[in-house]
Amino acid sequence: MEPLYIRVHERDNVAIIVNPEGLPAGTRFPDGLTLIENIPQAHKVALRELSRGEPVIRYGEIIGWATGAVKAGSWVREDLLVLPQPPPLDGLSLATAPPAAQPPLTGYCFEGFRNQDGSVGTKNILGITTTVQCVAPTVDYAVQRIKKEILPRFPNVDDVIAITHTYGCGVAIDAPGAEIPISTLKHISTHPNLGGAPLIVSLGCEKLQPERLFRAPDLAQLQVLNNDDPLLIRMQDERGFGEVVRAILSAAEKRLEQLNRRQRTTVPASELVVGSQCGGSDAFSGVTCNPAVGYAADLLVRAGATVMFSEVTEVRDAVHLLTPRAINQDVARALIREMKWYDDYLARGSADRSDNPTPGNKRGGLANVVEKALGSVAKAGTSALMAVAAQGEKVTAKGLVFAATPASDFICGTQQLASMNLHIFTTGEGSPYGLAMVPVIKVSSRTALAERWPDLIDIDAGRIATGTATIEEVGWEIFRFMLDVASGKKKTWADHWGLHNALAPFNPGPVT
């Protein structure tokens, strides 16, 4: 492979090295640039001499200021950059350049499970909700029994899962922010892939009582969906562990009979609600997998679907690129509101956005959170921003939506799960992350990762870096793969291996 670097924007004065093993000092590029030191793959090379204090530019944006003189052909590392301040939230452009709607994309469908409330599932699962961590081991035990003894009799049901978590008691249940984990767990428990009606296992004495997780009218409606069969099991009302387990198994069998009658039917692609997320990002993420997912996001929007992007700290430094894209000023102000909320949250913990990049991100060539954010927002494609959902709020709008979440993979995935029926996860360094309730499609930023993990990565976007595929081609590949996975025609590697991470609801409130 000849020496190759990628320069994203004509203003950029740095580029990233493409060659898998990096390049040694003395390497000369076709344009005459010569490396004066060894530079690893994905790391930045100075395209010209930079003086102290001069802006370092990637994606056409400032990612830092040089701490000293930088020679052309040298390795531009984190320690050579001063982190910029985030864009000030006052004075941002509000809905000044919303993109025009692209031509509708018609005729695309998938085979999904239509529910009584009109929602559509991509899986058919029995979910057993827990109100508190105390009952989690009991429910886990019951689920293993159900899978072994009962589920084989119901071939149309994909799985039985326990919706367990670490919330529910020992918390300030009325504190500001307490509504975030509660609403998240409520929406997950009534997920379309569960047929909209879970079983609920409570301890009895916890702070998160079932009537608090589901208000009385909600419980009444769920009871109707459950055909008036037992919906709620309180452990402290039963006589011994064996009786509790028998009660769970009996209720599960009745619910499985209902779920087994569900059938896949042809539904339009507009019924997809897709969450997008980064994990183990590298410097290629913003030029390969994330733009390809962004292209697929535009296709989904054209098909009438919903696409979510999230991760506040990985949007904060690019928010000035997004507020002009808002469909109106109210949406733009809502995006600013969520940025401000999280700024204040971090400040209360004496932290800031600079704590976001991981050692793996930096090993993969990302110098700081600014560079990471500029690559992360590529997942949002080019469509107008139609809505913003606050922390823990269920997304109901169509089109491109910002759903506020932390950037933590597990917390972001949990909060997006409250709304989505399909998940797409981009990675540069690699991650085996998965969710039991929805398919998680993995897209790699580099071909080397796809070749090293052929049984974990679903789609290789690294071909874009070497020129063997275009962003458009990989975007269409992702779009079509989504429809096949949503239809149950193809299985993601995470589902193949049963790699399903535990839920991690976001609790910004105090623990008592």
pLDDT for the residue 408:
94
> In CATH terms, are 1-84 and 115-259 the same topology?
no
H or E element: which one contains 422? strand 422-427
- The reported pTM is 0.95
* CATH domain 115-259 topology: Rossmann fold (3.40.50)
The single residue listed with the structure tokens 């892939």 is: 193
Strands (E), 203-314: 232-234, 265-268, 273-278, 306-309
Tell me the domain boundaries of the chain: 1-84, 115-259, 276-497
CATH architecture type of domain 1-84: Roll (2.30)
What sign has the CA pseudo-torsion 312, 314, 317, 321?
negative
pLDDT in tens, the chain (512 residues): 899 999 999 999 999 999 999 999 999 999 999 999 999 999 999 999 999 999 999 999 999 999 999 999 999 999 999 999 999 999 999 999 999 999 999 999 999 999 988 999 999 999 999 999 999 999 999 999 999 999 999 999 999 999 999 999 999 999 999 999 999 999 999 999 999 888 899 999 999 999 899 876 677 777 666 666 668 899 999 889 999 999 999 999 999 999 999 999 999 999 999 999 999 999 999 999 999 999 999 999 999 999 999 999 999 999 999 999 999 999 999 999 999 999 999 999 999 888 889 999 999 999 999 999 999 999 999 999 999 999 999 999 999 999 999 999 999 999 999 999 999 999 999 999 999 999 999 999 999 999 999 999 999 999 999 999 999 999 999 999 999 999 999 999 999 999 999 999 999 988 98
**pLDDT tens, 263-275?**
999 999 999 999 9
Distances 53 to 7, 108, 139, 473 between C-alpha atoms, Å: 21, 52, 59, 40
DSSP for 270-281, please give it: GG-EEEEEE-S-
> If you count them, how many residues does the chain have?
512
295/472 Cα distance (integer angstroms): 6
